[in-house]
Amino acid sequence: MKRLATLSLLCLMLVVAQSNNVRVITIDSPNGGTVSGNPRSGPLTFENPKPGGVVGKVKDLQITSSKATLEAPPGKTLDESKGERTATFQETVTVKRDRMTATGPRLVYSEKTGQGVLEGPAKMRQEPKDKEGDPVEVTANKMTFDVDTDISTSEGNVSLKNGRQEGKSDTVYYEEKRGLAVFNDKEQVVLTRRRTDGDLVIRAKEVRSLTEDKRLIATGGVTLVDGNITTTGASLSYDDKTGIAFITGNARSENKKEGLVISGTTLQHNVNKHIVVNYTKPYQLPTADFKRVGEK
């Protein structure tokens, strides 16, 4: 039994070591750049007079700046501590991965966690998959990029714009390939869709949006404001292509201008025609479409 436990521990240590080695960063400063410091114990400082002249690469993530420092943990050399080192980039940092580009004043990357933290004010832009699509643009106080996945997490005064829609919250979790954005806020997420006949506003505790498909769900108590009509309930789904929203859970809609009130288990709200009706068929929120990676 003890031998089996020891073997399991060794296997776990091997998996962790292999994972950390994959996260090892390489840094170069070509074309007029310099490298200074102790090549054995570090830290090493990479500098380049050319903007973006210092280039760091780890998996499919590229980080450029004018200056970077690579450090080993105390008591270890740079070579023997691969997978545990820290790289700090500063002086106009740019992060690139596939269609995504982010910028900020400083980034700290940890080989141990596989995460690069971009300090703010940070900006991120992801180009659409096709010419007809809309880019995703994010601003935040801080952004964290994971090299093991295509996931970034933005924190602090976050704004995410996609076409005519803008969401504001404390945090945004974003999967780049799927275009899944998950907004969370300790008070309420505010999502605004700009329109010529008055903005459409959705407020909720959490909003999950598929930016490519133009669909979203909102939970935790929701409010939909469509001109003179305010519809509330426990949760909501909305398809921007059809302009149809379904509000469920003690749903209630009020048109203050006309003095009309309608309530029911599920309401169907057409925001293009500004019409709300009772939806009598069984309805279930499509939560499976909006699950995060690894979420059951």
Residue 243 sits in a domain whose CATH number is: 2.60.450.10
Tell me the mean pLDDT in the region 203-224.
97
In a domain, 113, yes or no: no
Residue ranges making up the domain that contains 273: 214-288
- Residue 290 has phi, psi (to 5 degrees) of -115, 20
In a domain, 243, yes or no: yes
Tell me the mean pLDDT in the region 260-275.
96
In a domain, 124, yes or no: no
Query: Is the predicted pLDDT of residue 249 greater than 90, yes or no?
Result: yes
What integer pLDDT is reported at residue 196 of this predicted model?
86
In a domain, 276, yes or no: yes
Q: Give one word for 111, left, alpha or beta, with left for phi > 0 and alpha for psi -120 to 50.
A: alpha
Tell me the mean pLDDT in the region 74-91.
96
Q: Which two tokens stand for residue 24?
A: 């090892």
| Peptide bond just before 135 cis, omega within 30 deg | no
What integer pLDDT is reported at residue 11 of this predicted model?
39
In a domain, 233, yes or no: yes
pLDDT in tens, 118-172: 998 999 999 999 888 999 999 999 999 999 999 999 999 999 999 999 999 999 9
What integer pLDDT is reported at residue 120 of this predicted model?
85
Rounded to whole angstroms, the Cα distance separating 162 from 138 reads 9
Contact 103, 120 (CB under 8 A): no
Query: Is the predicted pLDDT of residue 14 greater than 80, yes or no?
Result: no
In a domain, 55, yes or no: no
Tell me the mean pLDDT in the region 216-228.
97
Rounded to whole angstroms, the Cα distance separating 223 from 231 reads 6
What integer pLDDT is reported at residue 8 of this predicted model?
43
CB atoms within 10 A of CB 15: 10
Rounded to whole angstroms, the Cα distance separating 252 from 239 reads 20
**Amino acid letter, residue 282:** P
**Amino acid letter, residue 116:** G
Query: Is the predicted pLDDT of residue 185 greater than 90, yes or no?
Result: yes
Q: What DSSP line would sit under the chain, residue for residue? A: -HHHHHHHHHHHHHHHHHHHHHT--EEE--SS-EEEE-TTT--EEEE-SSTT-EEEEETTEEEEESEEEEEPPTT--TTTTTTT-EEEEEEEEEEEETTEEEEEEEEEEETTTTEEEEEEEEEEEE--SSTTS--EEEEEEEEEEESSSSEEEEEEEEEEEETTEEEEEEEEEEETTTTEEEEEEEEEEEEEE--TT--EEEEEEEEEEETTTTEEEEESSEEEEETTEEEEESEEEEETTTTEEEEEEEEEEEETTTTEEEEEEEEEEETTTTEEEE--S-----GGGGPPTT--
In a domain, 19, yes or no: no
What integer pLDDT is reported at residue 296 of this predicted model?
87
Number of domains in the chain: 1
Give the residue with greater pLDDT, 79 vs 18: 79
Strands 136-146 and 235-239: unpaired
In a domain, 256, yes or no: yes
- In this prediction, residue 207 has a pLDDT band, given cuts at 50, 70 and 90, of very high
- In this prediction, residue 198 has a pLDDT band, given cuts at 50, 70 and 90, of confident
